Structure 1
């Protein structure tokens, strides 16, 4: 057996420089070089060589500019040394130790701490709160009232649904994702290793699925599955008020909002019982504790009681007999759950009315609550003579199936797909216009609201015309929201009251000539989305990600996120699995490009959290852990690499959040407000990224920085020209 290491007797160290232990040892040097080459080919960050009783472990892939052979190694020159230093051996080379990168921490420290500071870290007030003037504050208030709050009013509900509801399932006209991916929105989101529900569309462009109403005859909960914000609640409201009013008007419909109504301090089952009891009394004038109703519910029990051991009292002591009856009924009412169940059965049988219970927004609660909701819905559907609808997200269903309440349940589920975002916005804004103009009366208006309505009307008219004439604006909202209607509406409301937008200018221009009006340019809307309520861009709060952030001193890591999106999209477009790509193929691809597994881990976690890609069952992966089986790009991810990274507004914002490895560029990138200085800063940053990209061979991977760089250069030149023209 070849001896790898020769160390002086009595030496107790286990850390050595690789140069010192391999200077006079050709075998060791050759072994380390060979192992390092294997690691670099595969993107494996750690390497080790061993002859069976000696181990030399080292960092094989570094991103701090130092050659692996010039670094340090952890050396165990005998089995005795391993036993003597077993804790060090375990911490560095065990599976948990490797996952936690203990060897890296020991030999070279935390690379992230060695990164140059981001510009944002030098700004004392970062990210800051953007102030609004009185006009902007008023617009924010009135837009919230008209676009969101009033639409929830019971008085306006039917008008709102008839005017604003859009059929689900229509494919977006502005999405950057292919049609087959949009059509397969929920395909492959369920783990192929576990049984999935039979998915049936709850509705399409023709209307509500007949199967949905037919399923109400079963004694199982009816699952309505839809992603966050697609409109599950609005779908239910429209089903009740517009699509099937004849069914629901004849039925007793109990709607339980487990998101906004159910407090965390109350037991969930107790809340459902209390809420159902209150709705029966308020909406249907049924008091389940009223004397005659209670005696009707327990009529058969009272009949048996009359023939029981107290039957003699009926003639000899009627008063005492009545007291005993009351005691019996008192015991029945002492168990609210059983009493409500018997009351609902009595209503269903006595009134010949169908009972329908809707448990909505349970997916806004924690997982254990969601498990409880489904168990409660199963019990109610099976034993309470009640049809139960439960709304769930696809990922909630998957986790429940894997971990708890749904594990033995193989149901049919109805999917709720999003409507077209552009149509929803048009109808909602048209409805808002009718409210501001008084065409749809509002019963009570706060004082002075009429003046603010006039300003909001001008903004809405401008926005509606911009949606019709500016394709870039429609495309932006459509792809950022990705079918999340709630987010799309939030983006629009946020724009109306943004402190980053001169809304007074828009109102003034719109007021001068309503025919021509003001067309909102893309960069204004993007700025409002990027910054939100902050002065500076903050990646933790903005729905827009920083594509060029890095976690190590490896310059090519600036492009790992856009390349990841591009590669997954490119591979997914060629397949037939709804755009999904096997994760191991992605890792092999990137390790072949010289990225480490750790860099790919970080990119996958970041891009999933920022919704640039989605995984099987939409699980959020964790670094060092087993990754989901398949990956797919989202419209938000595609919009980042296809549009945003070539926009000056985007680059201008994310510069502050990006570590710059080149010291000369770092010197000229400052916190500036003047537009000319910001353009200079963006040009310097563009040149820096150009230099990093030029040293890489990354062609044909679904993303090319050169294209984005050219677009950015043209934008900067255009802005400079405009500034000169109006100087």
Structure 2
């Protein structure tokens, strides 16, 4: 890692502490704590304590430990943890005793992963670089590394040359022998590792990172490779895996035949991660005139304009009281910090983001305060499209029924049902049997296949999670009645906060089927088209949302006629539109006041 990368890491890395990260009502779903499904998983989650425990493993004398496995959810910061540990958790003197060989498997092809000779040779080249002071490629060093084998040959097949004192011939044979041996990557690295340990007082520490970015069978291969290398090289191997894959494999052959020391990497607070990155940009960049291209999008920035952009964004996120934008980012992503950062990137690059306006030195003064939440969510939801299509968007439409269903409220009721169960349980993390959920919904008129289908759509978008951590793996795992589930941080935010935002409802209008012909014609008539700049008439937008709410109110009236006497969960009878109407009332008043001021 070069000095520039070290500077960024030192400034931007956020350590985890044993403190409450969020003040949400349901704090349990904001806890990214070590799983309890395996006794090998260390219960520690404080970054400093995890550093200490891993470091103690690294420097245990006369002992080759089991491989260390670092598990965590997708995007929780496993790579950042590893890099911070290597650069800031180990001193230069300690690095000397434990040379760190960092291997990023995201750079490997599938063929590379399965080619053991390639992997060993790759490791050796890295060892040569890290231990360059030892001159491992020099002939005199190679003679020491293979001294036992050379001695044996001098005592048998080369004995006649030793007896005759034919030094030149002997040296020639030794050189040819060594030249042949160094072409055997596995054996040669074993010899080098042995030399480092016994002659130099250095034990190798290999870090296998980003294995969880590969396909499952390749991850399995790397897991097994870590165990074999630990034994063959008498060294330490640290491997990062997603906790979902570890859960899937832990009791299956051949993984149950191996023992590993397992640590859970807990996601840090999202807001602190984002704040540090923005501050780093503001404090370390000159902001000269520059053109930026990401994918198929290009933006030109004049000198100083980018600074103004990030200053205005920082103010909107961290200086505005109870920033709705920041709540949206952290609550629709945590503990996947990477996903939250990608949403922020989408906002910056969206065709609907008023970048030029936000870069204005006058922006934020007078009546124009901060970045409106509705502008932010529109930019994230639409990216560069004109209209909202939830199937292609980062935003989920809770009012869109599944293919078998025509009820706009099923997804919402399922989330509210789970939320009530979590509240009533009083536990940090509890999962509920799908069979019980389905039974309760069938009692009020649903069919089993519709409930399961809607649950699968919620699971696909991470609004609910399963007890087998299947949301943390790449395969599309289907929920069935034998599954156990609970509401996620994302699902809770949608059901409690986002659903009562007029900006969210406005997006959903264009993506929700309208089952009343008169309402459909009415909404089609008042729905405003975009002008050439992508701007739509604000008063007609609000009128459209109000019409949509009125339609939903009518449909909910039909929905609430279902029999509910035998159900105990309030989510089944909750008056959703009444809740939404109370939430949007103030927003409508504020917008209408604004419209009155400009006419």
TM-score normalised over the length of structure 1: 0.71
Q: Secondary structure at the match of 1:211?
A: helix
Q: Report the CA distance between 1:561 and its aligned residue.
A: 0.9
* CA 1:453–1:498: 2 relative to 1, 3 Å: farther
Q: Report the CA distance between 1:359 and its aligned residue.
A: 0.6
Q: Are 1:376 and 2:228 an aligned pair? A: no
* CA 1:221–1:170: 2 relative to 1, 3 Å: same
Q: Deviations over 1:615-665 (max 9, x none)?
A: 012215979874564212111111111122222221222222222222222
* CA 1:231–1:175: 2 relative to 1, 3 Å: farther
Determine the C-alpha separation between the residues in 2 that align with 1:404 and 1:290.
Answer: 43
| Aligned counterparts, 1:253-402, within 5 A | 253-259=100-106, 261-268=107-114, 269-285=116-132, 288-316=136-164, 318-402=167-251
Q: Deviations over 1:490-517 (max 9, x none)?
A: 222322232112121122155686x998
Q: Secondary structure at the match of 1:614?
A: strand
Match of 2:488 in 1: 634
Q: Report the CA distance between 1:390 and its aligned residue.
A: 0.8
Match of 2:55 in 1: 213
Bigger radius of gyration, 1 or 2?
1
Q: Report the CA distance between 1:605 and its aligned residue.
A: 1.1
The 8 Å contact of residues 498 and 533 in structure 1, kept in 2 or not, is answered as: yes
Determine the C-alpha separation between the residues in 2 that align with 1:664 and 1:305.
Answer: 96
* CA 1:491–1:625: 2 relative to 1, 3 Å: closer
Q: Are 1:692 and 2:542 an aligned pair? A: no
The 8 Å contact of residues 350 and 380 in structure 2, kept in 1 or not, is answered as: no
Match of 2:14 in 1: 166
Match of 2:383 in 1: 532
Q: Which range moved further: 626-635 or 217-226? A: 626-635
Q: Report the CA distance between 1:395 and its aligned residue.
A: 0.1
Match of 2:44 in 1: 201
The 8 Å contact of residues 99 and 204 in structure 2, kept in 1 or not, is answered as: yes
Q: Are 1:571 and 2:571 an aligned pair? A: no
Q: Which range moved further: 690-699 or 461-470? A: 690-699
Q: Are 1:701 and 2:574 an aligned pair? A: no
The 8 Å contact of residues 71 and 264 in structure 2, kept in 1 or not, is answered as: yes
Determine the C-alpha separation between the residues in 1 that align with 2:478 and 2:97.
Answer: 56
Match of 1:506 in 2: 358
Determine the C-alpha separation between the residues in 2 that align with 1:596 and 1:171.
Answer: 44
| Aligned counterparts, 1:414-493, within 5 A | 414-437=263-286, 452=302, 454-466=304-316, 467-471=318-322, 472-493=324-345
How many residue pairs align between the two structures?
A: 560
Determine the C-alpha separation between the residues in 2 that align with 1:348 and 1:607.
Answer: 53
Match of 2:533 in 1: none
Match of 1:154 in 2: 2
Q: Secondary structure at the match of 2:395?
A: coil
Match of 2:28 in 1: 180
Structure 1 unaligned regions, length at least 5: 1-152, 439-444
Q: Report the CA distance between 1:701 and its aligned residue.
A: 0.9
* CA 1:637–1:668: 2 relative to 1, 3 Å: same
* CA 1:502–1:626: 2 relative to 1, 3 Å: closer
Q: Report the CA distance between 1:447 and its aligned residue.
A: 6.6
Q: Report the CA distance between 1:520 and its aligned residue.
A: 1.6
Q: Are 1:230 and 2:73 an aligned pair? A: no
The 8 Å contact of residues 305 and 360 in structure 2, kept in 1 or not, is answered as: no
* CA 1:273–1:554: 2 relative to 1, 3 Å: closer
Match of 2:594 in 1: 722
* CA 1:385–1:238: 2 relative to 1, 3 Å: same
* CA 1:364–1:460: 2 relative to 1, 3 Å: same
* CA 1:245–1:665: 2 relative to 1, 3 Å: farther
Q: Give the structure, 1 or 2, with the largest relative contact order (CA under 8 Å, sep 6 or more).
A: 1
Q: Deviations over 1:22-80 (max 9, x none)?
A: xxxxxxxxxxxxxxxxxxxxxxxxxxxxxxxxxxxxxxxxxxxxxxxxxxxxxxxxxxx
Determine the C-alpha separation between the residues in 2 that align with 1:516 and 1:667.
Answer: 37
The 8 Å contact of residues 113 and 222 in structure 2, kept in 1 or not, is answered as: no
Q: Report the CA distance between 1:387 and its aligned residue.
A: 1.3
